[in-house]
Amino acid sequence: MFAIQYGLILSCVLSSITGLSGVLDTPGTAKRFFGTNYPTTAIFIWNFKMLFGSLLFVYALNVVVAVYAPLTTLAYVLACGNLIRVCFVMQYVVSAEKLALMGLVENGKMLKVIIVVQVTLAAVIASCAYVSSSDPEYVAYAGAITPTDRGSYSYFVYFFCAVGILGRIPQVLNPMKAAKRFMAEGRALPSDKGELLQMEFTFGFTAINYLQVWAFVLALTFFVPTMTPIAGFMTLTGGVLIAILVKTILGIDEIGFAMPPMLFFLTLISVMFGASVLTLLA
C-alpha cells in the first residue's frame, strides 16, 4: 500500500467513529451535543440520525478511492470536502447567538472538536497524497489506472447523481424553505427559534453531505477502471436508504412528512439499487 491509501483509510476509520455513534446511539450523541435537555421530537431525531448517516457515506468514499482509484486528484478533492464541511460548521461556531439558541453544551465544544479533527484529517489526506506523488513506484501504479468502457449502467449513475445534485442544491442554499416542501399538509416546522435553528443545522449539513457524495460519485465514474466499485457503493448506500425510507413511511405521521416525496425517493433509489445489484451480478 502507498501513503495515499493509508491516509484515506485512516481518515475514514477515525471519522466513522463519530458517524457510527450518531447512527447507532442517536439520543446519546444528541445528549453530548445538547446536554440532557436535547431535542426529542421525532423530526429532530430523524434529521440528526440522517446527518450522521450521510457522513458515513462520505467517509466510505475514502475507502472506495483508496482501494480502486488512489489518485492524488481524488484525494485532494476529498480533503477539500472535509474543509467545505468545516466551513459550514464554522458559521455556527463563530456566532455566539446561534450557539446559545441551539442550546449546544460547553459553548459548542463538540462542534469545535469536529472542526479540529476534520481539518487535521484533511491535512493528513493531502500530505499523504503529496508524499505518494513523489514515489516513482506510485507514479507508475497511478499511471496504469485508466477507465474502461463504462457500459449502460453508467447512465443510471449519471441520472441518479444529477437528480441528487439538483435536488440538494436548493437545500444547501435555503434549508428551511426546502424542508417546508417535505412537510405534510397541516404540519409546520418548529416555531421556536432555537428548534428551528437546530433543524436548519441538521438539514443543511445533511444536504451538503449528500451533495458531496453524489457529485463525487459522478466524477468518480471518469476515473475508476471499472464500474464495480461504484455499483458496490450504490448497492450499499441504496440498501441503507431504502430501509430508512421504509421505516420513515411507516412512521410518517409522527415525523410529519408528506407521503409523495418519500415515495418518489423510495422509487428512485430502488431503481438505482436494482441496477447496481444487477451490475454486480453480471
Distance CA 54, CA 246 (A): 17
Count of beta carbons in the 10 Å neighbourhood of residue 144: 7
Count of beta carbons in the 10 Å neighbourhood of residue 254: 12
Contacts for 276 with CB less than 8 Å, ≥ 6 apart: 153, 156, 230, 231, 232, 234, 235, 238
Can you give the pTM of this predicted structure? 0.93
pLDDT score recorded for residue 106: 79
pLDDT score recorded for residue 37: 74
Tens of pLDDT, residues 99-130:
888 888 778 888 998 899 999 999 999 999 99
Tens of pLDDT, residues 216-253:
999 999 999 999 999 999 999 999 999 999 999 999 99
Instruction: Over range 148-165, report the average pLDDT.
Output: 91
Q: What is each CA distance from 248 to 44, 54, 166, 244, 263, in whole angstroms?
A: 13, 16, 23, 6, 10
pLDDT score recorded for residue 86: 95
